[in-house]
């Protein structure tokens, strides 16, 4: 909200004591510029909040139908972008800290300060909320640029290896679905999907003829292919992702029993995101066509991850993936392109 000298600031005061309400009204009327509305309980306050859309809320912590942070939580849930200032007779530093932690902008003690100081507090709360909103919007814009960049890099790699077009996208989708099945937070799932989109970025260093060669690779060629997790890590390790994407890229071919590469990590030495991508990666590869073989189908993919659960793959991740497949009732556990038919009989 832009504050000008002629602006009328709409304030909702939720206070059950008529004397305290009248005092606040008098104090703010002395300095001017405020359009006050009142509620004597939380339920009434929430109704007025929804109907009137105030610029700020003043909230007493002791109401007939709410006490302590209960009222703060309800206001924040109903109107997360409206600045909230506690006005209470309780002079308690612990409660003041708790109130701020629950999302209020300030904590005022009744009987302390005049209309000018209350006005400054309200204006500060409004400006601070506006700044917080702008920071969040800027962060979201940056994340959107990051997402677009990651997708572009993923597409560039797939253009170099047309035989696996869509692989990284489908691994990303399946990894995200497994993460949600495991109950991971939305932000962690977003990072997991980002890592899935570029988990094979190190293949940019692999000669194209190795990637698209039909038939079985020689031992020497396979050793070259196995360098791609380390190469991918080298490419992105200095990018300041908000998630451990570099470790996902480096570790997605590690195995629970230490038989994987490039570092021979075991168990919890492998980050959870990499353990999820490992399962999504092998599952997608088995159900898809490759230059050296046709797609093998869902049954083969399910058998592979189940057979190696606990040795190559994390058992919890395997169980989540199998649950997703069974819920799909014969369909692939990721989106299919109209031009990329993958619903194959097993």
> For 67-97, what is each residue's pLDDT tens digit?
889 999 999 999 998 999 999 887 888 888 8
- Cis peptide bond prior to 135, omega within 30° of 0: no
Which pTM does this prediction carry? 0.63
Say what the pLDDT of residue 343 is.
Answer: 31
Rounded-to-integer distance, Cα 169 and Cα 334, Å: 9
Q: Which of 134, 151, 178 is the last residue of a domain?
A: 134
225 band by pLDDT with thresholds 50, 70 and 90: confident
Among 55, 103, 48, 41, smallest CA distance to 76 is for: 103
Same domain membership, residue 169 and residue 75: no
Query: Do 193 and 128 fall within a single domain?
Result: no
Comparing 248 with 169, the larger pLDDT belongs to 248
Which of 233, 228, 259 is CA-nearest to residue 248? 233
| Nearest partner of 253 among 238, 220, 231, judged by Cα | 231
Average pLDDT rounded to a whole number, residues 278-295:
85
User: Do 87 and 170 have their domain in common?
Assistant: no
Quick one: 261 and 321 in the same domain?
yes
Q: Are 130 and 165 part of one and the same domain?
A: no
Q: Name the pairing type of β-strands 66-67 and 62-63.
A: antiparallel
For residue 218, the enclosing domain spans: 161-328
Indicate if the alpha-carbon torsion angle 105, 108, 113, 115 is positive or negative: positive
**Torsional sign, CA 10, 20, 39, 64:** positive
Helix or strand (DSSP H, E) at 174: helix 167-181
Q: Domain tally for the chain?
A: 2
Residue 97 covered by a domain: yes
What is residue 65's predicted lDDT score, i.e. its pLDDT?
92
**Whether residue 35 is found in the same domain as residue 119:** yes
Helix ranges (H only) for 62-114 are 69-78, 93-101
107 and 18 housed in the same domain: yes
Could you tell me if 29 and 178 lie in one domain? no
Phi-psi region of 261 (alpha: psi -120 to 50; beta: other; left: phi over 0): beta
Give the Cα separation of 250 and 317 in Å (integer): 18
Asked, for residue 346, whether it belongs to a domain, the answer is no
Quick check: is 230 in a domain?
yes
Same domain, 28 and 129: yes
For residue 164, give both structure tokens. Answer: 């696996």
- pLDDT beyond 50 at 51: yes
Read off the tokens for 8.
């009328």
Q: Which of 134, 150, 178 is the last residue of a domain?
A: 134
Q: Are residues 128 and 187 in the same domain?
A: no
- CATH number of the domain within which 241 lies: 1.10.3210.10
CA distance 161 to 120: 62
Average pLDDT, the chain: 86
């Amino acid at each position: 909200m832009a504050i000008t000298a002629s602006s009328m600031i709409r304030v909702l005061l939720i206070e059950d004591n008529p004397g305290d309400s009248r005092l606040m009204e008098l104090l703010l009327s002395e300095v001017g510029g405020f359009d006050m509305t009142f509620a004597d309980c939380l339920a009434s306050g929430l109704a007025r909040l929804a109907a009137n859309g105030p610029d700020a809320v003043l909230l007493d912590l002791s109401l007939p139908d709410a006490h302590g942070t209960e009222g703060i939580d309800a206001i924040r849930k109903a109107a997360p972008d409206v600045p909230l200032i506690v006005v209470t007779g309780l002079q308690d530093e612990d409660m003041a800290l708790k109130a701020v932690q629950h999302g209020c902008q300030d904590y005022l003690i009744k009987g302390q300060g005049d209309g000018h100081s209350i006005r400054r507090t309200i204006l500060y709360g409004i400006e601070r909320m506006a700044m917080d909103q702008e920071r969040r919007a800027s962060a979201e814009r940056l994340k959107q640029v990051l997402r677009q960049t990651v997708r572009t890099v993923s597409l560039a790699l797939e253009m170099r290896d047309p035989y696996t077009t869509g692989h990284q996208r489908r691994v990303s989708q399946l990894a995200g679905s497994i993460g949600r099945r495991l109950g991971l937070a939305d932000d962690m799932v977003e990072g997991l999907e980002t890592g899935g989109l570029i988990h094979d970025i190190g293949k940019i260093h692999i000669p194209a003829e190795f990637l698209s060669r039909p038939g079985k690779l020689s031992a020497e060629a396979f050793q070259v292919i196995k360098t791609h997790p380390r190469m991918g890590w080298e490419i992105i390790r200095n990018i300041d992702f908000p998630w451990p994407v570099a470790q996902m890229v480096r570790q997605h071919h590690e195995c629970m029993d230490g038989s994987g590469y490039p570092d021979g990590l075991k168990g919890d030495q492998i980050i959870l995101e990499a353990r999820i991508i490992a399962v999504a990666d092998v599952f997608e590869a088995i159900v898809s066509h490759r230059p050296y073989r046709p797609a093998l189908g869902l049954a083969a993919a399910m058998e592979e991850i189940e057979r190696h659960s606990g040795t190559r793959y994390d058992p919890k991740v395997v169980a989540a993936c199998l649950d997703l497949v069974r819920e799909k009732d014969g369909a692939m556990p990721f989106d299919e392109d109209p031009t990329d038919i993958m619903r194959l009989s097993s």
